[in-house]
Amino acid sequence: IIRYSVIIGVIVVALAVLLVFYATRDTSAMQYNVENRDEMEFNPYITNEERLDNSFLEYGKVLTKYSRNGYTYYSGEPISVDFETVSGSDGSDGSSPLQYLNEVEKYKDGFKYTDSADGSEKVITPEENEGALYVSGTTTTLRFNVSVETAGLYSLSLEYLMLDGRDSDMLINFTIDGKLPFLEASNMSLKRMYGFYDYDYESNKDVVGNQIRPKSQEIYGWQSTVLSNPDGLYKNPYRFYLQRGTHEIVLTFTREAGAIRNIQFIAPIVNPSYEEYKAQNGFSEDAVYQGDAIKKELEVPDYATSLNIRMESDNDYYTSSDTNMDPFRVTLFNVFGGEQWGSGGDTVQWSFYVEESGWYELGFRYRSQATYVSSFKEIRVDGAVPFAEMEEYCFPYADGWTASSLIDENQNPYYFYLEGGQTHTITLINKVGPLRHSLQRIEESMDSISTLVNQIVKITASARTSSGGYVVDKNRDYDLQLYIPTIQEDIKIYVDVFSQCYDDIVTINGGRVTSYASAVKVAEELFRDFDENLEEVAVSLNDITNAQTGLSNTMVSIKQQPITVDYMVLAPRGYDYPNVSSNFWQSFYVSAVRFFSSFDNSKYENAGAREGLDTEGMPEIEVYVSRGREHVDIMRNLVSEQFTPDYGIKVNINMVAGSSEGLIMPRYVAGTAPDLAISISPGNVFEFAIRGALVNLNQFESTTYNGTEVKGFYELWEESYYDAAFVPYLYKGNYYGFPETQTWSALFYRTDIFENLGLEPPDTWDDIYNILPTLTNNGYDFCYNYAVGGYTPFLYQYGGDFYDANGMTSGLNTEAAYEAFMEYANLYLQYNFVYAANFYMRFKSGEMPIGIADLTFYQQLNYSAPELNGKWAMLPVPGHERVIDGELVVDRSMSGLGTCCIIINKDNVAEENRHYEESWAFLQWWLSDSVQSEYGREVEATFGVASRWNPANKNAAQTLPYTQDELDVINAQWEWLKESPNAMGGYYTSRYLLTALNQTVIQGLSGRIALEDAVKEINKEMRRKQSEFGIPEDGSVLYAERIDE
């Protein structure tokens, strides 16, 4: 009785809380007014920054200088560039001449592409491409002169065509007379366009009624643009000053291939005010539209400029019930945007039709995705901003779904004039909005704080903990003002800046305190304490770095203002939006229906199988996958669209929570194992193989199945994979796993800090040792975190390996292994490397301007550290010089081990339940170039760059949206890919190697003795395990017969 009473009490309390929430939430979208300008203040921590050359200043500060100098806008006719006068070069080394697109052999007959919507071949003809210069995607430089009769502020427009590529934007660098007109001119971009197809529910659902996520496809065609900030940081396109006379202009294009034409210097766009707009278009009360509201669903736009932005699913009562389907039991993609539609500069356009000319209210049903965060967007109608108030319109935050016409700060609607009998477009472009000023001030303060911390570290001779924190003697008086005269003044500025930024963030978000504002408040209070007690600064370095971490996250959050949109309404005056937000009982009903429907197993068994596909009589295979639901849904879609129709094989993809490895052996013994599994760790493959649980994959040869080609094991290997990637899957001469994913490592370094120090990035470990004194003397560290895996590249680069050629004994008893062991240990014994540090945070702060890291670190930098754009680079990992095949080379050998795929041995079940040929057909399809490319594309479109797929397929990797320089580094590093085989008892290797390292590095014991003791224990366990599985001492684990060393 007590137990049930407690449960009932908890339920009652939960319902009461929910009732209070629904009763008190505010779903109104009240508009407000905030100051908004593009001009920026100068850096308070740099004396006379306004005197610096414009090429060192951000665009907003250059605008401030323009305003102070009284520069006016050019207002004449566009000045066109004659391409006959353009010179330049193409190619990374600048050795190739410029070409017109129609001169390039591949495009002489036009740009041909496949329309994904219907599979038809289409072409942009040579006539359409006439006069366009080709941009290869490496480095293309266009150099020309422009003569200016009237001094003033100009904008630059051009037309461009994106060609086949890696779904990235084309990058532009722009100089005038050899100098950047402003700092951001080194990092502009031209965006791609993506449309959607297969979005009709009736023709695009699985057998249980779930809508299959519509595909996105690139839309090819000529586009016009005026160069502007690609991240939506400013309201208007870029404007730059040209004096009267002739100027040399250089445009440099990189990363993606395309074509350029019609470059013009134009008068800057100046949008009228709303009152001017009404006057220009003859507004009158009688002309206001009086008909029925026109509703436009927004889940399918004409195009978006990012793969990440697309249709999403929403289960709100009024969103889902606005359909003819069973809305609460199935997945419907019925809204657009969501978490992924938050990055500045992302653009989406829709088309709509109106019968009647007139002045319309224009409104949206939308939901803010971040709590208390308003969203700013540029709104264009028919390709142009109608009036200045739409340059950065604020979509105010509301609790849950809301709907409102576009309104001013007095809550009065704006009216838009639309001609009847025409199709119009509306375009929404993400903008940072007025928060650009807070963003700038926080970034400048963080740079100043990093410099201050670096100075204090030098003064206090602070030691580092194993985790990278600071240890300062608290019993000393450091008298920081004696060494840093401006410290008190700088701290006062920090307090003022953070106080103002906090107030601005709250004001700009409608008086609400956002989650990211708290980090600014914490920083303000911290430095306010320091202002009152300066002696605390020296002993509070860890508090300062923690505050910097919070501020860094705030900078990312400021740029992310995601919203979801459901529909748009073209409305008459005073339109009242019905059924906007569900109440408590409606939400409770939806939750209850979805909860109880989740117990229907049929909902999952055939999920993803496209309705209408006749699978009767097809053989069926079961696949275990240890990935999240979104990953599995993407995989199911690919299977239902490509594999099952082509091969005639049904696939039951079973999403396994956690790791599937723990299920395979028990189910193998019980005879209920799946046919195959993917995303398996290499070590488990070996353990399964020695117990007879796997099928050797090298037995499969090239053939056909259901009339479709099936590649053999070695054919697929040789065409698309690196040899070293297969080494961990070798047992008794056969291969029992096929690599699926593969990571890479690289040397990352801060180019700005290295330039200030006058250092060149290292190529070898000797180079690293040579630059360490300069780094250390300036308070910097090199990041190479302490771990067993850190020893591996040293072992490989010395020519060693973990085991002998037969996998029978440890390979750590060689002189090469010992020398590698001692060099790695000396990183921490002699060079005082930090044992464990948050490289990402310390790289951002500048404390660790160089280190070795992997794909995860790269993803963090690209997703969460946009402020470092242009300030970092990556290179292949440093190596050791040694002679290989008679040639002196820098050996950069390093592991890149990822996951793999396996086929389960089912000889212990009835023959009709064995599907080896079908399983291999699936595996070679899944691991093929095209499928791995498409899967990677869909994963990144769903989750963003932070979840970039890392295929072991080297051809598929070339299609991922890396820059060419980044791909060159990855490919160069993969050429040195080296993996060790697995061995019986090999689990002792990492265990005792770590013991040996700890004894040497931490306890100070002899490295040779520690390593020798480890080898003895490893060999003892290896021999015991070999005996258990009947391997004689003179036998071989890796090969059928023992091979000579």
Pick 610 or 554 by higher pLDDT. Answer: 554
Query: DSSP characters for 666-701?
Result: HHHHHT---SEEEEE-HHHHHHHHHTT-B--GGG--
Reported as type and span, the H/E element at residue 488 is helix 487-508
pLDDT higher than threshold 80 for residue 604: no
Which residue ranges make up each domain of the chain? 21-30+274-432+569-589, 49-266, 437-559, 613-742+898-955, 745-891+978-1028
State the Cα–Cα distance between residues 505 and 555, nearest whole angstrom: 12
Pick 605 or 877 by higher pLDDT. Answer: 877
State the Cα–Cα distance between residues 506 and 600, nearest whole angstrom: 46
At 555, list the tokens.
């900078």
State the Cα–Cα distance between residues 875 and 1044, nearest whole angstrom: 37
Q: What pLDDT does residue 857 have? A: 93
Q: Which of 455, 532, 528, 466 is nearest to 493 (CA)?
A: 528
Angle separating helix axes 517-532 and 541-559, nearest 10 degrees: 150
CATH code given to domain 21-30+274-432+569-589: 2.60.120.260
pLDDT higher than threshold 60 for residue 494: yes
At 260, list the tokens.
């350029």
Q: How many helices (H) and strands (E) does the chain have?
A: 28, 44
Q: Could you tell me if 551 and 442 are in contact, meaning their C-beta atoms sit under 8 angstroms apart? A: yes
The residue-averaged pLDDT of 277-282 equals 96
CA torsion, ordered 274, 279, 285, 287, to nearest 10 deg: -100
State the Cα–Cα distance between residues 789 and 779, nearest whole angstrom: 27
State the Cα–Cα distance between residues 390 and 236, nearest whole angstrom: 11
Pick 743 or 464 by higher pLDDT. Answer: 743
Same fold, 21-30+274-432+569-589 and 613-742+898-955: no
Q: Could you tell me if 702 and 715 are in contact, meaning their C-beta atoms sit under 8 angstroms apart? A: yes
> What single letter denotes the amino acid at residue 329?
R
What's the half-sphere exposure (Cβ side, CA atoms, 13 Å) at 92? 7
- Assign 264 a pLDDT band (cuts: 50, 70, 90): very high
State the Cα–Cα distance between residues 500 and 438, nearest whole angstrom: 8
Question: In this predicted model, what pLDDT tens digit does every residue of 292-308 receive, in sequence order?
Answer: 999 999 999 999 999 88
State the Cα–Cα distance between residues 25 and 71, nearest whole angstrom: 49
Pick 231 or 659 by higher pLDDT. Answer: 231
Greatest pairwise CA separation for the chain in angstroms: 100
Q: 93: how many CB neighbours lie within 10 A of its CB? A: 9
State the CATH architecture for 613-742+898-955: 3-Layer(aba) Sandwich (3.40)
Q: What pLDDT does residue 95 have? A: 75
Buried b or exposed e, range 900-932, using 16+ CB within 10 angstroms: bbbbbbbeeeeeeebbbebbbbbbbbbbbbebb
Query: DSSP characters for 810-876?
Result: BSTTSHHHHHHHHHHHHHHHTS---SS--HHHHHHHTSS-EEEEEHHHHHHHHHH-GGGTTSEEEEP
Question: In this predicted model, what pLDDT tens digit does every residue of 638-681 receive, in sequence order?
Answer: 998 899 999 999 999 998 876 777 888 899 999 999 999 999 99
> What single letter denotes the amino acid at residue 642?
Q
Placement of tokens 């299959």 in the chain: 212
pTM of the model: 0.87
At 1003, list the tokens.
């306890």
Q: What pLDDT does residue 580 have? A: 81
pLDDT higher than threshold 60 for residue 23: no
Q: Could you tell me if 232 and 432 are in contact, meaning their C-beta atoms sit under 8 angstroms apart? A: yes
Q: Which of 640, 729, 735, 739 is nearest to 981 (CA)?
A: 729
At 3, list the tokens.
């137990």
At 901, list the tokens.
């795929």
State the Cα–Cα distance between residues 732 and 692, nearest whole angstrom: 12
Residues 6+ apart with CB under 8 A from 601: none
Backbone angles phi, psi at 331, to 5 degrees: -95, 125
pLDDT higher than threshold 80 for residue 8: no
Structural Rg of the chain based on CA atoms: 32
CB-based burial of residue 578 (10 Å sphere; 0-12 exposed, 13-18 middle, 19+ buried)? exposed
**Candidate from 126-140, 194-208, 750-764, 866-880 with smallest mean pLDDT:** 194-208
Q: What pLDDT does residue 327 have? A: 59
Placement of tokens 């002899």 in the chain: 1006
Placement of tokens 């470059």 in the chain: 263
pLDDT higher than threshold 90 for residue 944: no
Backbone angles phi, psi at 584, to 5 degrees: -60, -50
The residue-averaged pLDDT of 538-554 equals 89
The residue-averaged pLDDT of 212-231 equals 90
State the Cα–Cα distance between residues 649 and 710, nearest whole angstrom: 13
Residues 6+ apart with CB under 8 A from 312: 333, 335, 336, 337, 338, 564
Placement of tokens 């391409």 in the chain: 83
Q: What pLDDT does residue 242 have? A: 97
> What single letter denotes the amino acid at residue 837?
A
In three-state secondary structure terms, 386 is coil
pLDDT higher than threshold 80 for residue 835: yes
Q: What pLDDT does residue 448 have? A: 92
- Assign 598 a pLDDT band (cuts: 50, 70, 90): low
- Assign 320 a pLDDT band (cuts: 50, 70, 90): low
State the Cα–Cα distance between residues 594 and 329, nearest whole angstrom: 6
Q: What pLDDT does residue 438 have? A: 95
Q: What pLDDT does residue 924 have? A: 98
In three-state secondary structure terms, 890 is strand
Question: In this predicted model, what pLDDT tens digit does every residue of 46-94 receive, in sequence order?
Answer: 989 999 999 999 999 999 999 999 999 999 999 999 999 999 998 767 7
Angle separating helix axes 436-460 and 487-508, nearest 10 degrees: 150
CB-based burial of residue 293 (10 Å sphere; 0-12 exposed, 13-18 middle, 19+ buried)? middle
At 635, list the tokens.
């995989």
Look over the chain and give the mean of its residue pLDDT values, rounded to a whole number. Answer: 90
State the Cα–Cα distance between residues 838 and 147, nearest whole angstrom: 52
- Assign 24 a pLDDT band (cuts: 50, 70, 90): low
Q: Which of 343, 337, 342, 332 is nearest to 309 (CA)?
A: 337
- Assign 755 a pLDDT band (cuts: 50, 70, 90): very high
Q: Could you tell me if 729 and 704 are in contact, meaning their C-beta atoms sit under 8 angstroms apart? A: no
Under CATH, domain 49-266 is a member of which superfamily?
Galactose-binding domain-like (2.60.120.260)
The residue-averaged pLDDT of 349-359 equals 96
Residues 6+ apart with CB under 8 A from 848: 780, 781, 782, 783, 834, 837, 839, 842
Beta-sheet strand order (sheet of 745-750): 782-783, 850-854, 745-750, 872-875
State the Cα–Cα distance between residues 759 and 776, nearest whole angstrom: 13
Buried b or exposed e, range 741-775, using 16+ CB within 10 angstroms: bbbbbbbbbbeebbeebebebbbbbeebbebbeeb
Q: What pLDDT does residue 762 have? A: 97
Pick 30 or 657 by higher pLDDT. Answer: 30
The residue-averaged pLDDT of 955-966 equals 90
Q: Could you tell me if 967 and 858 are in contact, meaning their C-beta atoms sit under 8 angstroms apart? A: no
Residues 6+ apart with CB under 8 A from 528: 495
CA torsion, ordered 228, 229, 232, 238, to nearest 10 deg: -50
State the Cα–Cα distance between residues 512 and 370, nearest whole angstrom: 12
- Assign 992 a pLDDT band (cuts: 50, 70, 90): very high
Reported as type and span, the H/E element at residue 998 is helix 987-1001
- Assign 259 a pLDDT band (cuts: 50, 70, 90): very high
Cite the beta strand spans of 436-589 per DSSP E.
463-464, 470-471, 563-571
pLDDT higher than threshold 70 for residue 978: yes
Distance of alpha carbon 91 from the chain centroid: 27
State the Cα–Cα distance between residues 379 and 429, nearest whole angstrom: 7
The residue-averaged pLDDT of 837-860 equals 89
Handedness of CA 565, 570, 571, 573 (dihedral sign): positive
CA torsion, ordered 1026, 1029, 1035, 1040, to nearest 10 deg: -130
745-891+978-1028 fold: D-Maltodextrin-Binding Protein; domain 2 (3.40.190)
